[in-house]
Structure 1
């Protein structure tokens, strides 16, 4: 009998390609444990690595990852402390050791609290091409202008990508550094300045200076100000200067700083702001004409841009490679009415090559506008709508029907007429193929939103359009009728759960329809927003009762709990998530909950009791990874883990990774040692301004080291 063929019989070249195709970190680690041959091949094909050890233990870092090209040093513990900050021999030796252990690094991410960190690391990787700097602490006092970027000018002569989206500094520093280093600026092809800590963003003159210095940019992301009440606001002249200076742009991302600070907005706002932006359709057309290579465009203006229909039509013709478009505060996107839907589409509906579209705060977008978009942009795989108060479940459901063959990712947020129940009802036609879903948990009912009995449109959805034919999609039902004038009408009605229940004779069909309604077969990621004091428990009853493959959930809780009475229920409702058998990752973000850090007036709860409310029941979930943002008291800049929160987290016995985005007392952290499977714990103050050690009695570097020593004593079975 011939011997059985095994994986080891494959040539090393083929086997190494197979191992290189494995992207999951834990899976790669498991591969390395099979045998020594697989260990060597796995290490030789590892291209990306994130170190999470303590800074004092860096000398123990392995030297077998010689092929790593992307190295992340920003998550080292104690988080936020300077990696290399003193001019000592130890720092020089440590920097040299990192250079020898990872000689092929081309992309680096590092927490650079002081310029000294880059001064030590720069000589080790002189041919670095990608650099991301991280700093949430305040800028060191007494630091000369642009001193943070001196190492870039002096050492990184091959740098092509610079990411400062998580690096707090002065905007003047960036402008001065790029202006004084023409060689560095000329080499940059990607520059990310989308930093929420810049309260006013970059002024118009600064953007002109940056783009004039960086004429080779292909990707440019920047936070700016469009409000003409501020000095240096972005106007037509600014937009034209960007397109003139950087004509090779394939990605342009211009966002008002206020939009970064308030990403959701007020759902009770109808969409129009008091002032208009100083941006004209003519300037937009000229900018689009000067950027023929554009593939991704974001314009989140935060002030009214009216009559944008003609400019968007030119965008379609002038930028033939455009695949992704995000618009904020743009009105008049298309002239949607029954006659135009029959004859010819216009405006944004002509962007037929789009695969991703996000519309934010468009005050006059209606259901007919959504239908026009769905008919014209028939390739959409991702669709986001936020703060559009005139759209309803009817329009969203029609859009879902028409995009049934392509749509896999949807976000519905801050829309007055689309709460949780109505949003899920609208997405029923595509719920069997949606992979990522984001929505608001505003607990409405379909009956509160509108009647779903039927709606008539005086146009034919199956009629050919200029540029293509729209075929009828499954999930929509159409019936042709004729009035006295023999005018053809198209009637579109919605199937509700109750309508299935009324047909007692068709039991088999009813069960099939119920399964279709309740099962989100491909949903992997769910993101929800919920107001403070509201419950999570109704989530399953709203239409998400059956998500067999849901792996990750992001819960954002927002609001001011000061002045709110004690909730009627004991717990937020995390226990209700037990119905999702594959749920392993959770992001519970309570960072935008504001309250009383220490004591509260009579009849109200302080933050520790609110944390108990939100974390109660987490022990019933089989989570392996948890990111938790504690609530805050903005008066004292305190975002700290409380005693009840530490106790409840310690009951989650399956956790392997726990990231607390805040601070904690050492004796609270010691409670987490009861989690036997826990392997990685981090405290991150990744918000501005991050707390300084000398301002807090909470966990310090020496305390962190003691906790990590105790954690490393754990015996981990796998």
Structure 2
């Protein structure tokens, strides 16, 4: 009798090995699919999941799953109705302690918690059951309750004696609340390793004395993120003394981020003159050098101020020497960061260990400075540039060529000479490698397009003799190549120019420097139009402008693009109507794998209800921007409706609800605003939609929803109808 054929499967692996394999899966839907294979896989998946975000209605907390016993990171800030106190609206509101005990029993190993804490009562009920918490993130966009200063943090500091990380980046409070609480519980400050106060809702940011008191109370911090007041026109602005106090009080810092509140809001304001802002910051260069000397362990540094810090190049030469472990650097309003003379590198170009660099409003940065950065910082993986008006397609293209082996994340924003088409042209050397990209949808004029045609240069890769260089190219060649001893990548390579060319082709520079004319597969320097690895695309566009030219600008072939983020900004009250019927979302059907979209119209201002004669109200503008969205195969959508700031209203309109119901592939929909209940019922026509939430995550969130807007009972009725449908998977 023939032996039966036995097939080896994954189930034959020992449970220990199989559980390690399942533990490496990070995508939520993939883990859910894994758990459906068989009971054995279900048990292993549940026992290896360490991070969980709870959704659903807070009144149904009795349905909390009890099978995720190994979860250590729990997020309960997304429970609906979003923004309401967690324990006051549940079905056990008469005994909220029972609910908190249920959460404790379901998740006994929690060490990291994220919770919407509209009032301290929620924390008073939850935290006594999780005294072993080491990390906590508080979320609140509603107005601060009228309580004594520091009351919000008393339940946290009173119960969490082992607390090491406190994140208040999404928690609206007063800046003067934290210091009294730290003074009342000195042991908490000593234990803290990470403190995040980078909250954009602060109107002014933390003042000098507050920062000094906080760092004095938390001497063992390794991570510090603070939204500061740098403007010297205000009392208590952050200057030399505060920076020295940070370095002196917290010498073990590995990540230090200090940003002005205006930088956090990402306001696209035009600078008043070529040199930047009118006033200079009160930050001395000697002070910065002393700060760097006091922080030898620094790996990430952000200093984004609102006024100029001039002639700062020598400071960053010292930064390289004093902080050898530095890998991430973000600067705002620093002038003179790189001013190369001939082939000598200086300033920030000497920070050769950098992997991420972000610069904002560096008014005197030129193409030569940009190329020097590419030469010196040869390990850059991420490069963001904003508000640098002197750089052009030639400098950006040369930097991309120099970094074509490493650079995968690029942002080009608010640069006068780099519109959409010129930015994409400059990034040709890395278009087959780049993963994440941000550009401004500023469509280049005819004259600019003609100038772009002049940047295509040809030179002979087979004859690399220097004798044929024309005299007016020698300076550029010396600057680019540099002596062999100064070239951070090793040997010096030369290229041949024709006599009537000012620059060599940046499509070829990377190949010449590495001595390989066919590295990209094109020895003649030609690059195809395919962005093979691009996964995430971010766009800024002014109100009234169209998205239609995007594909023709050079992004016609992105086979792996999965996510797109579109931010529309401006005042539509200055427009009577747009120039076309639709914004142009239909053009995105060119991207076959596009599944996630963030459409942010939250900074678009308009008339909510009463538009003057000849002007469109916000509902008609919403129709303009959402028209054609049903043609896309989106599975996830985050949508910020436009707003009328005069009445603090950001609400979904009838045309918007009608167009969103056409997105038949949607599974997740977050609307960052309010909506009428009968508008939300339109969404029930989307067959596979299973995760919908209204989030008022902007300050100040409406304290009491209007009678015609979504209320807690209305939200519950909609969710019952949504969950009562049959969904395939």
Same structural fold, with TM-score higher than 0.5 when normalized by the shorter chain:
yes
Asked if the contact 1:54–1:705 (Cα under 8 Å) also holds between the matched residues in 2, the reply is: yes
CA pair 123-398 structure 1, distance change in 2 beyond 3 A: same
Q: Which residue in 1 is equivalent to 2:467?
A: none
Match of 2:489 in 1: 470
1:687 aligned partner: 698
602, 608, 612: which one aligns with 2:619: 608
Task: Give deviations 1:260-285, integer Å, cap 9, x for gaps.
Answer: 22344337864511100000110000
Shift, 1:151, TM fit = 0.4
User: Is 1:112–1:134's contact at 8 Å kept on the other side of the alignment?
Assistant: yes
Residues 584, 125 of structure 1: alpha-carbon distance in 2 compared, 3 angstrom cutoff: same
| Larger displacement relative to structure 2 (527-536 or 438-447) | 438-447
Could you tell me the TM-score, scaled by structure 1's length? 0.93
CA distance in 2, matches of 1:15, 1:453: 54
Secondary structure of 2:551's match?
helix
Q: Deviations over 1:203-262 (max 9, x none)?
A: 000000000000010000000111111000011111000000000000000001122223
Aligned 8 A contact 2:393 2:418 in 1: yes
Bigger shift: residues 150-159 or 269-278:
269-278
| 1:229-308 mapped onto 2 (5 Å cutoff) | 229-266=233-270, 270=274, 272-308=276-312
Residue 695 to residue 440, structure 1, CA distance change in 2 (3 Å): same
Q: Is the 8 A contact 1:478 1:490 kept in 2?
A: no
Q: What does residue 198 of structure 2 align with?
A: 194
Mapping of residues 649-688 of structure 1, within 5 Å: 649-688=660-699
- Find the aligned partners of 1:465 and 1:200 in 2 and give their Cα distance: 50
Q: Secondary structure at the match of 1:116?
A: helix
The residue that corresponds to 1:171 in the other structure is 175
Instruction: Write the distance in 2 (CA, Å) between the matches of 1:177 and 1:510.
Output: 63
Cα separation, 2, equivalents of 1:602 and 1:570: 19
Contact 2:429 2:506 in 1 (8 A): no
1:533-557: per-residue Cα shift (whole Å, max 9, x none)?
Answer: 0000100000000000000000000
Question: Residues 218 and 457 from structure 1, CA distance in 2 versus in 1: closer, same or farther, beyond 3 angstroms?
Answer: farther
Q: Which residue of 2 aligns with 1:447?
A: 449
Q: Which residue is 1:437 aligned to?
A: 437
* Cross-structure match for 2:163: 159
Who is 1:133 aligned against? 138
CA drift at 1:567: 1.3
| Aligned residue in 1 for 2:49 | 46
Change over 3 Å in CA distance of 1:510–1:36 after alignment to 2: closer
Displacement after TM superposition at 1:677 (Å): 0.8
Q: What's the CA shift for 1:693?
A: 2.4
Counterpart residue number, 2:105: 100
**How many angstroms apart in 2 are the aligned matches of 1:269 and 1:164?**
36
Q: Note if contact 1:267-1:415 (Cα within 8 Å) is conserved in structure 2.
A: no
Deviation at 1:469, TM superposition (A): 4.0
Q: 1:77 aligns with which of 65, 75, 80?
A: 80
SS at match of 1:518: coil
Structure 2: how far apart are the matches of 1:688 and 1:124? 31
- Is the contact between residue 530 and residue 558 of structure 2 (CA under 8 Å) also seen in structure 1? yes
Shift of the 573–472 alpha-carbon distance from structure 1 to 2, 3 Å rule, reads farther
Paired residues of 2:598 and 2:638 also in contact (CA < 8 A): yes
Q: 1:617 to 1:409 in 2, by over 3 A?
A: same
Query: Counterparts of 1:296 and 1:389 in 2: how far apart (Å)?
Result: 26
Asked whether the equivalents of residues 179 and 210 of structure 1 are also in contact (C-alpha less than 8 Å), the reply is no
Q: CA RMSD in A?
A: 2.2
Structure-2 change in CA distance of 1:291 and 1:696 (3 Å): farther
Whole-Å separation in 1 of the counterparts to 2:524 and 2:322: 47
Query: 1:469 & 1:193 partners in 2: Cα distance?
Result: 38
Give the match for residue 421 of structure 2: 421
Q: Is the 8 A contact 1:479 1:490 kept in 2?
A: no
Superposition pairs of residues 572-611 of structure 1, within 5 angstroms: 572-611=583-622
Contact persistence 1:128–1:158 (CA under 8 A):
yes
Q: CA–CA distance in 2 between the matches of 1:661 and 1:593?
A: 14
State the alpha-carbon separation in 2 of the partners of residues 268 and 711 from structure 1: 52
1:168-189 CA-partner distances (Å, limit 9, x unpaired):
0111111211122100111110
Cα deviations across residues 610-642 of structure 1 (Å, max 9, x unaligned)?
A: 000000000000000000000000000000000
Cα pair 1:592 1:632 within 8 Å, conserved: yes
Q: Is the 1:529–1:557 contact (alpha carbons within 8 Å) kept by the matching residues of 2? A: yes
Counterparts of 1:246 and 1:64, CA distance in 2: 42
In structure 2, distance between residues paired with 1:254 and 1:690: 26
Aligned to 2:649: 638
Aligned ranges 1:321-336 → 2 under 5 Å:
321-336=325-340
How many residues get paired?
A: 693
Taking a change above 3 Å as real, the CA distance of residues 590 and 457 of structure 1, as seen in their structure-2 partners, is farther
State the secondary structure of the residue aligned to 2:95: helix
Contact 1:574–1:616 (8 Å) recurs in 2: yes
Q: Work out whether 1:540 is the aligned partner of 2:557.
A: no
- Matched-pair contact (CA < 8 Å) for 2:320–2:326: yes
1:518 and 1:696 mapped to 2: Cα distance? 53
Aligned equivalents of 1:651, 1:457: Cα separation in 2: 60
**Do 2:432 and 2:531's aligned partners in 1 also have CA atoms closer than 8 Å?**
yes
